[in-house]
Amino acid sequence: MILAFDTYYFGNKAKTICLAFEQWTQVDNFQVYAEVLEGIAEYTPGEFYKRELPCILSLLKQIDCRNVQAILVDGYVFLDDEGKLGLGGHLYQALTVKVPVIGVAKTNFATIVDNKTFVFRGESKNPLYITSIGIDKEKAADLVKSMGGEYRIPTLLKHLDMLTKT
């Protein structure tokens, strides 16, 4: 099973969605987990994980994670080449069973050179930026590139984003 997480913030609340699916190439037949939490902290620059990590960890309690092969997050695993952890890295550390975490970001983070790679999907001239822990970044990029859908954003990740905002 593969898990993909995203969170949408409104007021002091956060709506976190997780899509659970079996194959990297699929575009449908997934399971949806959702949770809305209140009392969410304000965003602090450089410490985004403090806001989103509790949301992901809370939702993970609803999911049987024994057969999870990877977790996708909207964001970065590393924030620089010295190993400063981003959301994905902090998630990896928080997991008792070390599941590979792949960060998929739509915007570049200039402080990372060696700890990221990128993927062009479809006919897009804009890449997705890939970081990972527990799996080689090139292998992670190949998996994201193989995800179902013709466009820059894989179909399931586009659906995930839409579900968080509805």
First to last CA, the chain: 25
How high does pLDDT run on average in the chain? 94
Distances (CA, A) of 131 to 4, 76, 110: 14, 6, 13
pTM across the whole model: 0.95
- Residue 74 CB neighbours (<10 A): 19
Longest dimension (CA), the chain: 41
32 confidence band (pLDDT: 50, 70, 90): very high
Crossing angle between the packed helical segments 87-94 and 49-60, to the nearest 10 degrees: 40
Q: Judge residue 82's burial from the number of C-beta atoms within 10 Å of its C-beta, 0-12 exposed, 13-18 middle, 19 or more buried.
A: exposed
* The pair of three-digit structure tokens given for residue 6, joined into one six-digit string: 């995203």
pLDDT of residue 109: 85
pLDDT of residue 38: 94
Q: What is the pLDDT of residues 126-154, one digit of tens each?
A: 999 999 999 999 999 999 999 999 999 99
86 confidence band (pLDDT: 50, 70, 90): very high
Domains by residue range for the chain, with CATH: 2-164 (3.30.2170.10)
Q: What is the pLDDT of residues 47-75, one digit of tens each?
A: 788 899 999 999 999 999 889 999 999 99
Whether the per-residue pLDDT at 17 is higher than 80: the answer is yes
